[in-house]
Copies of this chain bind each other. A is one copy, B any other.
């Protein structure tokens, strides 16, 4: 029983076949697009429908078990909320590198406070290229 499954049950959701399949996919990889979740889910259970994938991901987002991210793409990706981190997107490969930074967390709070706001949520993405040799 994975943490994700347990949390769904706690939330009163039925543990159906399609749901187990999708949760398994989410446990195995992160930062997937809907289409990617769908493809991986189909590999496990070929009868699953993309409507179910959309519905399940929306539910999980509402339960805060997953976060819908938009990056600057025209479709969404979903992240499991098992830890708090940010993303650095490698512009050459499209790969997503995760990072955490305490200093950054504090700075955000400070900025919001200075503006008279209580911070509820935030997004930060860095886009970069791997530094090769000793350039510049």
Contact = CB atoms under 8 A, between A and B. Distances in A.
Chain copies in the assembly?
2
Contact of A131 (B107, B116, B128): B116
A111 B117 contact: no
Given A70-B73, A97-B115, A118-B128, 5 more contacts: A88-B112, A104-B111, A118-B130, A120-B128, A121-B128
A125 interface: yes
At the interface, is chain A mostly helix, strand, loop or mixed? strand
B116 A121 contact: no
Nearest to A98: B115
Given A117-B129, A122-B124, A104 B107 contact: yes
Interface in A79-136: 88, 90-91, 97, 99, 101, 103-104, 107-108, 111-113, 115-131
A68 interface: yes
B107 A117 contact: no
A123 B124 CA distance: 5
Interface of A: 68-73, 88, 90-91, 97, 99, 101, 103-104, 107-108, 111-113, 115-131
